[in-house]
Structure 1
Amino acid sequence: MRTGWLNKFSGVALLWMTSISMAEPAPSPQTLEQLDEAIQTRMAEQNVPSVSYAIFNQQGLIHNQALGVKDRQSATPATTATLYRAGSVTKTLTAIAIMQLIEQGYFDLQTPVHTLVRDLPIVNPYHETHPVRIVHLLEHTAGFDDMHFKGIYRDDELLNAHATALQVDPEPLQVRWPPGAMFSYSNPGYGVLGAVIEQISGQRWEDYVQANIVTPLGMKHSVLTIAEALERDHALPYQQDEPSAAMSAIYLRAAGVLWTTPEDLSVLARFLASDGATAPGLLSVPSIRRIKQPQSTLAAQAGLDFGYALGVYHSVVNGRHFIGHNGGITGFFASYGFDPATGIGYATLHNSDQVGGAFARLITDYLNQAYPQTPKALPIATPSPALEGWYRLANSRNELMRLPEWLFAVARWQNVGEKVVLNPLVNDSIELVVSAEQRLAEADDPVWTGQIIADGDKLAGFSLDGQFFRPVSAFSALAPPVLLLLALAGLLSAPFGRRKALQARSLRRWPTLAAVSLLAMFGLTFNLSLQTVAQINLTTFGIFLASLLLPLAVIGGWVSIARYWATETAAIAKWRCLIGMLSATYITFLFANFHWIGLALWAW
């Protein structure tokens, strides 16, 4: 999956993320010394304390390097044995554990999960025809929301059962569309898999994975708890310049607790790349190949072999095809991947969350120079004119961010000769090509990354890099964001004007209150962090109050208009106030429809 494409349509990116200005690209590193220099330059630019990385092939490690310090206060250098939190890379281990239990005959990928673990808080309105199956959890196609804020961090590292931990935040387990249709990344789905592993094995998730995967694979440094990591050589987490409070434990351990090194991630990646040859007997060749093959989405069912599979996903980085995973947890970032054609790969970890996949891109840039591949042109066909038009994102990852995605995650498909130009409403256009089998790819990609989906004789939409877009009319795509921009202009200009122009000054006070509440609601979000957003504090309570004041101001404003409109003589001023109230009403309608009124983030 290509992070840049996902971020084009990310509501989080629209509201809470700032873009990094890009300088002229530096020359590609030709040697390992130049690669180290490039990484150190980027570390200095982004204030990253340390980066540890490895390069490998199917025979073993090619290069293993640690740069920088694991702890700024003591200035202790990081080593190749220094542990880092790897976040969602943990999902690869959980998927291997599930496949082991399948090989032991306990269930299969098509087994409905409710038959394995009772009393899970899954709400599935499609249960009779589309139950949530094991494969849906592994491939993130159950239709779940991602975890809510209250379900991320916990105060203590209590290793209680995953079935119990899921009760803390059950809301994401509400199925939003028929399972087995669209990809939507969901950490709670892997929490459910943790409950399955514990139920079937009779062991804690940590104990099973350590004994049956980590130890026999030879991941000699890796541990699965904070307590164990603190007893070993470990890096401290950093947000900007200071140590963060990110040593907090998490509820959904099967989704993200691994502490590891690049050497150990290389061991894991080589096991998958070699179809198990590096650890015979751990898992059969067919099972390992299935781990690398997505099958449950509509795109996969149509023949696309790119996307999220079982605890790993396919990506294109610097024009090269990789299979692997990344992981981000406050203060840390991890990434590993291997080229399925050659087995060459990388693993990288760093103790800052200011930079995501930048170091992986530098390493893969070097791999392209040191281990070049012969470019292979994809066979393309002329795209059908019936595909032209507007599309809207249909598979939001987070329900909380569905409003900005509904407004702005739209794109126009235009055929230009044998190519397609996809013009997002937000961000730059991209150029696509189409195959005779209705596959999609960006123009320079080495593999097909998307699929046009038919529903009988009708166009259902298209999937590109995991994101599913449904066709909509131009009016449906453009009217909501245009109306929002007009509403913002109308509301934010309503408080201004000659102070004494109105006899009934409440006509202006209500739209002013609505504007202030809107500005306060969004201004306060800049004070949030993952550690504070799930707590009742001045910021979250302020957002809650501001989201309530908006509809109250709308009600008050319309009462005032009904009472004073006929007698108010300042025509221009009162019409401006009316426009302000219409604007506030439209924004309130949007907020209410997407559950942003009374927004209690600590309970979300």
Structure 2
Amino acid sequence: MGFGFVSGWLLKALAALVVVCLGLCPAVAQDQALSALDRALTGSLAEDRLPGLAIAVIENGEVVHLKGYGVSDRGQKSPVEPGTLFGIGEAGAGLTALGAMMLVEEGRLKLDTPLAALVPEVPVRNPFDQDHALRLVHLLEQTSGLRELTLGQRAVSTRGHALADTVQRFAPYRLESAPGAIRERSQVALLLAALMVERAGGQAYEDFIRARLFSPLDIQSAVFGDPGAGASGYGRDGETPLPPGPMSHRPGLNLHMSAQELAKVVQLLVNRGVNNGVALLQPQSIERLERMETGPALALGLPPADGLGLSGFVHEKTVFFGGRGTVGGTRAVWAYAPDLRAGYVVMTNALRPSQAPLLIERYLTRNLALPRRDTVEGDPVSSRNLEGLYAPHKPAMVLPGTESRVTVEAVEGGDLMIGGVLYAAVANGHYQRQDAAVPTAAFTMWKGRRALVLDGALLVRQPPQAAWTPAILFAAYSVLALFTLIRLTYWVYAGFVGRLAAQGGAGLRYVPVLALAGLTALWVFITYMQGLDEPVRLALFGRETYRSWGFYLGSLLVPFLGFLSFWRGLTAGYGASAVIRLYAMAVGILVLVVSAALAEHGLIGLMTWR
């Protein structure tokens, strides 16, 4: 009897101990994983050569890790704290979408409300207006068809101006594609969406966001405009201080927040519209933020990898939604995974890539299994028919070479190499990376041409000559430049002693030399601009200075000299050798062809300060 009592008591105690262990083990495992993440983040700071880093990690709707690493200012050695302010740039687009959905729930706004209904005074040239009105949903889903701001517009400071004045200052606007057809990021779209929220909300955009979003979430330190104090921005080397970005692009680039307070917005989304007992949105509204209802990816049946005002980050195990932005040398990334009820905020103060987002994503998905991929046997013949160079349907504004260009190559088994990354053929004609949870690529036709939808963006296959045209132009330039260098000394001497008058004149030689020299200087100048960090580029060329005027006048002079060179070669009189005439015409053709390409990027006659 005694033995039975004792053994029964031991069994109960053992069972209780097992229950306690089962409850504690996940917590212990989480603590160990968080400690490992903290060590990895500390190490990544030095590896990435970042001055500072602020992060927030959310699990099960709660902040489980909130910390600053490094310094906010290399000179003063001020430590980064969770409350340190960073510029968030385009990462603020999600706030506009949240505000819009609040008004939609109240019946004061609709996602299909045309822009002209609320903002009739803003001139938008829309050749598609009869069938495709520009609506709020297009602005928030970045399928508006509006072109991005130019270099000069991005440099404009609108400090002290109302949002409506800022929008008018960048007008008139023009649609490059039908609304809803193509997904292309545009600050203009975010400006116009914010203005629609302002009109429907009945108060200034900043006041609306403070009252309807920041105040209920107890966000107190967020600043629209100059923060006064905050993280200093540094360039791509992590060392060079950068000037703060211009106070334009409201309501995006002028908002500064801390990781601690931006995490409250992430919690609101993770908890389906509720944070700390405060219900700001219905779950259905949060779900609407996490899907797109316009754009090419929807038409092809690709899984949602972007949303309404939110960007999608496709991880190997799941899909995160959120935003990222850069301004004045600071970067902000925030994201959350609805199926995990988890998310994060990462803020850095240098224009360098950081491992932090990937490290945190791996931590949050540590218990998830890799999703099953429904790979299929691809058709090698069909895959070869998809090969080629794909680029945006319209050249990117401001600087050539910055637009997304990818090469598609067929590999064994019918799979594809897209931009050097292997994509496997899966169901429904889609293609999926090995490190992606969902398919992100598919092919379609656009205006009679083969097109690739990649990560939501539409890229059009270029003609075969597009791949080798740059090489041919460079070879032609090299030959002409070498010929010029060989003959230049003689031409200068012959011109000085008057021998060229009987050989077609000095202009037949000197004009091509000037055209070629001008083209060289223009390209060197553009390459120099490309190498600058954005804040420095805006500071140097975004205002009226001798540099910006020099670029403007030089960009007009170069094609003029190219035409003049061709004309002199074509009309050269008696005594001019055929070789020199061909040389002058070849230089003229080369300069005009390159100038035409630069004009497509908006670089010929560009007043960068306007």
TM-score by length of 2: 0.83
Cα distance change on mapping 1:562 and 1:88 into 2, 3 Å = closer
Cα distance change on mapping 1:473 and 1:394 into 2, 3 Å = same
Q: Rg larger in 1 or in 2?
A: 2
Structure 1 contact 382–417 (Cα < 8 Å) conserved: yes
Q: CA deviation at 1:581?
A: 3.2
Counterpart of 2:457 (choices 467, 483, 488) is 467
Q: Which residue in the other structure is 1:434 paired with? A: 425
Cα distance change on mapping 1:112 and 1:383 into 2, 3 Å = farther
Counterpart of 1:497 (choices 486, 490, 505) is 486
Q: How does 1:224-303 map to 2 (within 5 A)?
A: 224-227=223-226, 229-230=227-228, 234-239=230-235, 240-246=238-244, 248-250=246-248, 252-278=249-275, 280-303=278-301
Structure 2 contact 145–178 (Cα < 8 Å) conserved: yes
Structure 2 contact 156–542 (Cα < 8 Å) conserved: no
Q: Equivalents in 1 of 2:434, 2:506: separation in Å?
A: 59
Q: Equivalents in 2 of 1:469, 1:554: separation in Å?
A: 32
Structure 2 residue 416 is the aligned partner of structure 1 residue 420? yes
Q: Which residue in the other structure is 2:9 paired with? A: none
Q: Equivalents in 2 of 1:105, 1:152: separation in Å?
A: 34
Structure 1 contact 494–511 (Cα < 8 Å) conserved: no
Q: How does 1:306-325 map to 2 (within 5 A)?
A: 306-317=304-315, 321-325=319-323
Q: How does 1:365-380 map to 2 (within 5 A)?
A: 365-367=362-364, 371-380=366-375
Aligned to 1:562, the other structure's residue is in SS state helix
Q: Which residue in the other structure is 1:12 paired with? A: none
Aligned to 1:105, the other structure's residue is in SS state coil
Range moving further from structure 2, 80-89 or 510-519: 510-519
What one-letter code is carried by the residue in structure 1 that aligns with 2:286? Answer: I
Q: Equivalents in 2 of 1:539, 1:383: separation in Å?
A: 54
Q: Which residue in the other structure is 1:209 paired with? A: 209
Aligned to 2:555, the other structure's residue is in SS state helix
Structure 2 contact 292–307 (Cα < 8 Å) conserved: yes
Q: Which residue in the other structure is 2:547 paired with? A: 539
Gaps of at least 5 residues in structure 2 are 1-31, 495-499, 530-535
**What is the CA deviation profile of residues 65-112 of structure 1, one whole-angstrom value per residue up to 9, with x for unaligned ones?**
111222333222221121211111211111010111111112321221
Q: Which residue in the other structure is 2:397 paired with? A: 399
**What is the CA deviation profile of residues 509-563 of structure 1, one whole-angstrom value per residue up to 9, with x for unaligned ones?**
2232122212222333426612232212122222212212212221331243235
Structure 1 contact 494–512 (Cα < 8 Å) conserved: no
Q: Equivalents in 1 of 2:548, 2:355: separation in Å?
A: 32
**What is the CA deviation profile of residues 119-170 of structure 1, one whole-angstrom value per residue up to 9, with x for unaligned ones?**
112111100100101110000101011122333355563151x222111112
Q: Equivalents in 2 of 1:581, 1:486: separation in Å?
A: 15
Q: CA deviation at 1:338?
A: 1.8
Q: Equivalents in 2 of 1:339, 1:492: separation in Å?
A: 56
**What is the CA deviation profile of residues 351-400 of structure 1, one whole-angstrom value per residue up to 9, with x for unaligned ones?**
22x214443234334545xx242112321233454442325323558433
Indicate the structure with greater helix content. Answer: 2
Q: Equivalents in 1 of 2:363, 2:205: separation in Å?
A: 37
Counterpart of 1:580 (choices 574, 587, 590) is 587
Structure 2 contact 391–462 (Cα < 8 Å) conserved: no
Q: Equivalents in 1 of 2:309, 2:580: separation in Å?
A: 60
Counterpart of 2:467 (choices 465, 478, 490) is 478
Q: Equivalents in 1 of 2:592, 2:100: separation in Å?
A: 50
Cα distance change on mapping 1:196 and 1:420 into 2, 3 Å = same
Q: Equivalents in 2 of 1:420, 1:254: separation in Å?
A: 40
Structure 2 contact 324–332 (Cα < 8 Å) conserved: yes
What one-letter code is carried by the residue in structure 1 that aligns with 2:343? Answer: G
RMSD: 2.9
Q: CA deviation at 1:350?
A: 1.6
Q: CA deviation at 1:286?
A: 0.9
Structure 1 contact 533–540 (Cα < 8 Å) conserved: yes
Q: Equivalents in 1 of 2:212, 2:438: separation in Å?
A: 34
Q: Which residue in the other structure is 2:442 paired with? A: 451
What one-letter code is carried by the residue in structure 2 that aligns with 1:345? Answer: G
Counterpart of 2:560 (choices 525, 528, 552) is 552
What one-letter code is carried by the residue in structure 2 that aligns with 1:493? Answer: L
Aligned to 2:458, the other structure's residue is in SS state strand
What one-letter code is carried by the residue in structure 2 that aligns with 1:217? Answer: L
Q: Equivalents in 1 of 2:461, 2:427: separation in Å?
A: 21
Q: Equivalents in 2 of 1:285, 1:485: separation in Å?
A: 57
Structure 1 contact 494–508 (Cα < 8 Å) conserved: no
Structure 2 contact 515–565 (Cα < 8 Å) conserved: no
Q: Which residue in the other structure is 2:521 paired with? A: 520
Q: CA deviation at 1:305?
A: 2.8
Q: Which residue in the other structure is 1:59 paired with? A: 61
Cα distance change on mapping 1:113 and 1:496 into 2, 3 Å = same
Gaps of at least 5 residues in structure 1 are 1-29
What one-letter code is carried by the residue in structure 2 that aligns with 1:148? Answer: T
Aligned to 2:431, the other structure's residue is in SS state strand
Counterpart of 2:608 (choices 590, 601, 604) is 601
Q: Equivalents in 2 of 1:208, 1:578: separation in Å?
A: 62
What one-letter code is carried by the residue in structure 1 that aligns with 2:391? Answer: L
Cα distance change on mapping 1:565 and 1:494 into 2, 3 Å = farther
Structure 1 contact 86–259 (Cα < 8 Å) conserved: yes
Q: How does 1:171-190 map to 2 (within 5 A)?
A: 171=172, 173-190=173-190
Aligned length: 554
Aligned to 1:437, the other structure's residue is in SS state helix
What one-letter code is carried by the residue in structure 2 that aligns with 1:258? Answer: L
Structure 2 residue 383 is the aligned partner of structure 1 residue 382? no
